[in-house]
Amino acid sequence: MLPIHMLYRGLRLNPNGHAVVDGEVRLTYRELTRRVEAVASYLQERLPEEQSRVGVCGHNNWQHVVMMLGVFASGHVWVPLNPRNSAAELSGIAEAAGLALIAADEDFQALFAPAGRPMIGMAGTGGCAPRVEDICVSHDGRRPADIVHLQEAISAIKFTGGTTGHPKGVLQPYRAFMNCIASMLATFQFAEDERMLVVAPLTHGAGTFLLPVLAAGGCSILLDGAKAPQISETILREGVTASFMPPTLIYSLIDHANAAGIRYTGMRHLIYGAAPMPMARIRQAQEVFGPHIAAIYGQTEAPTMIAAITARELAQDENIESVGRPCPFNDVQIMGPDGTILPCGETGEVVIRGDLVMRGYLNRPDLTEQTIVDGWLHTGDLGSFDERGYLFLKDRLRDVIISGGFNVYPADVETVLASHPDVAEASVIARPDDYWGQRVEAAVVLRQGHHVSEADLIGFAKGELGSVRAPKAIHILASMPVSAVGKVTRNSVLRLVEQLEQAS
C-alpha cells in the first residue's frame, strides 16, 4: 500500500463525514477525494516524468492539505518548504532538490522568485495562476493514473538542519511513511469520531498525523498561527479529541487554562514531541487535560515514530521521564562506541533499523555512509533501556558537556532546574572556559509572577547535582527562542545569551 490509500480507506469508512475543517470550509471525504484527484491529475499532466519534485509552502489551510495529498496521489515527491526561511535559503533548497514546481500561498510566493520555478497558487485571491481552487474546477471528475508500482520510490524530501545548522535533504521512502502510519494507528488507535486539531505546521510533525486520522475516518481541524485563547476556544467549540503539539505550545495552553479556570475533558490524545517536557510540566498538563498526555520520539531520518508512550503509560510515575517503548515495526537498540549492542541499564547511542529508516541524504553519499552503518541508523541521541523495555533519553551525543574531565548531560541539569517552583523552562548551554574546558551555564524563564535570584538557582542546582554539574552562571530570559515548529534549540539559546551579553 501507499500513503494515499489511507485517504481511500477513510472514504470507504465515512464518505459523508467531515475529513477536513478549515474555518467555514468543511470538506467531506467525498469532496476532499475529488479535489485531491483533480490536483493529482493536473500534476501528472503538467509533470509527466514520474517522481518529479514538488515544493509546497503554505499556512495550515485546506488548499495546503489538498496540494500535499495531491502530490502523494500523483506519484511525485513532496518537498515541504518552511516559509520562515529566507528567500536565499529557499532558493538554495529549490536548487538542491531540483524542484520542478512550487505551490505556495499568496503571501509566500515572493520568497520563491529567485528560484525561478513554475508555480501554483494555494490560499489567497491573487498571486500566480493557476490556483488550487481553479485546478479543482478545471480537472474535477478526473482520476490520476495508478501509482502502485512506485512502492519502493521516494515519498518526500525533507530538509533538516538538525543541531548542526546545515540543511540536509532527507530522502523518505514510501515504506518509511507507511511504517509511521501503521505505528500511529497501532499506538493511538484513532477512531472514526476522532477530531484532530492540526495547529503545529503541516510541513513538519503535524503533517504526519493527517493520513493516520484519515485512515480511521476521522476529521482534521486546521488552525494556523493561533495563540492559546483561540486554540482553547477551538478545542471546546469543535469537540477536539486529539492533537499533536510541541511542548512550548502546550505550556501556553496550560497557563491560559489555569488563568481562565478551563479544563479540557474531551481530549483523548494530547501528543507531544520534537523536544522533551519536564516532569513538572507533564503533571500540570495532566491536570488541565486529564490523564491523556502521550509522547512520541523520532527524527526526520526515521520519521516521528521510533518510539512512543501512551497516555496510560505516561500516567505511571516510573514512566514519566521515558519516551516509551520502540514502536512495533522497529528494531531499536543501544550501541556502544565500538559498535556492540549494550544491555539494559547501560547508556549509549540510540540506533534503529527497519522500514522507518530514510533512504539516505540527497546527494550526500558520504554523510549517508556515516549515518547508516551496517543497516543501523545512528540517531546521535544517547539513551538507555530499563528492564521493562522503556527507552530513556539522556541527550544528544554532540551536546554532552565535558567540564573538568566529567561528562555533564544537559538534560539532567535542565530537569533539576525545571523542578524549581519558580522556573517555567530551562535550557543548558556550554561556554568555553580556561579552567573547566567547558563551563555549564543555563538560561531559564520564570513562571509568571514569580521571582528568584540567579544565585539562589545556582545554589539549588548545586544541592541537587553537586558543584561540577551545576551551572556556573544562569541567565534569566523573558522567553526562550523557538524555531518555526516551536522547538527550543540550545544553539539558538546560546546565540541569544551572547547577544544579550554584547548589548549589556
29 and 10 in contact (C-beta within 8 Å)? yes
Residues 40-52: what's their mean pLDDT?
A: 97
393 and 297 in contact (C-beta within 8 Å)? yes
Q: Give the best-scoring range by mean pLDDT among 158-162, 167-171, 208-212, 491-495.
A: 208-212
Answer whether residue 373 shows pLDDT above 70: yes
Question: DSSP secondary-structure letter at 327?
Answer: P
Which H/E stretch holds residue 54?
strand 53-57
Answer whether residue 485 shows pLDDT above 70: no
Question: What's the mean per-residue pLDDT of the chain?
Answer: 92
Question: DSSP secondary-structure letter at 467?
Answer: T
Task: State pLDDT tens for residues 67-77.
Answer: 999 999 999 99
Helix, strand or coil, per DSSP, at residue 493: helix
Helix, strand or coil, per DSSP, at residue 405: coil
Residues 487-500: what's their mean pLDDT?
A: 87
Q: Considering just the CA atoms, what is the radius of gyration of the chain in Å?
A: 23
Q: Predicted confidence band at 127 (pLDDT cuts at 50, 70, 90)? A: confident
Residues 5-16: what's their mean pLDDT?
A: 98
Among the listed residues 254, 185, 162, 241, the one whose alpha carbon sits nearest the alpha carbon of residue 1: 185
Residue 91: predicted pLDDT: 85
Give percent of the chain above pLDDT 90.
Answer: 76
Give percent of the chain above pLDDT 70.
Answer: 98
Which H/E stretch holds residue 458?
helix 454-465
Residue 111: predicted pLDDT: 87
Please give the CATH topology (third level) of the domain spanning 1-220. Answer: Rossmann fold (3.40.50)
408 and 402 in contact (C-beta within 8 Å)? yes
Answer whether residue 277 shows pLDDT above 50: yes
Which segments of 143-246 does DSSP mark as H helices, in order? 174-188, 210-215, 228-238
Answer whether residue 225 shows pLDDT above 90: no
Residues 338-342: what's their mean pLDDT?
A: 96
Residue 161: predicted pLDDT: 62
Residues 379-405: what's their mean pLDDT?
A: 88
The three state secondary structure string of 240-253 is CCEEEECHHHHHHH
Among the listed residues 390, 246, 398, the one whose alpha carbon sits nearest the alpha carbon of residue 310: 390
Cβ atoms < 10 Å from Cβ of 336: 12
Beta bridge partner(s), residue 72:
none
9 and 215 in contact (C-beta within 8 Å)? yes
Q: Give the best-scoring range by mean pLDDT among 82-91, 168-177, 248-257.
A: 168-177
Residue 248: predicted pLDDT: 81
Residues 40-48: what's their mean pLDDT?
A: 98
Among the listed residues 380, 488, 503, the one whose alpha carbon sits nearest the alpha carbon of residue 443: 488
Answer whether residue 389 shows pLDDT above 90: yes
Which segments of 98-216 does DSSP mark as H helices, in order? 132-138, 174-188, 210-215
Task: State pLDDT tens for residues 395-451.
Answer: 777 788 888 777 788 888 998 999 999 999 999 999 988 777 788 999 999 998 999
Among the listed residues 61, 43, 423, the one whose alpha carbon sits nearest the alpha carbon of residue 220: 61
Residue 504: predicted pLDDT: 77
Residues 173-188: what's their mean pLDDT?
A: 97
Domain 400-503: CATH superfamily is ANL, C-terminal domain (3.30.300.30)
Answer whether residue 162 shows pLDDT above 60: no
Domains 1-220 and 400-503 share a fold: no
Residue 164: predicted pLDDT: 42
pTM of the entire structure?
Answer: 0.85
| pLDDT, greater one: 322 or 126 | 322
Helix, strand or coil, per DSSP, at residue 176: helix
Helix, strand or coil, per DSSP, at residue 289: helix
Cα separation, 479 vs 475, in Å, equals 11
Can you give the residue ranges of every domain in the chain? Answer: 1-220, 400-503
Q: Predicted confidence band at 486 (pLDDT cuts at 50, 70, 90)? A: low
Residue 163: predicted pLDDT: 40
Residue 5: predicted pLDDT: 97
Residue 90: predicted pLDDT: 85
Residue 311: predicted pLDDT: 95
Tell me which residue has cell 481511500.
8
Residue 50: predicted pLDDT: 95
Tell me which residue has cell 476529521.
219
**In Å, how far from its chain's centre is CA 204?**
5
Residue 232: predicted pLDDT: 96
Which H/E stretch holds residue 66?
helix 62-74
Residues 475-483: what's their mean pLDDT?
A: 88
Beta carbons within 8 Å of 81's beta carbon, 6+ residues apart: 55, 56, 57, 90, 93, 102, 104, 203
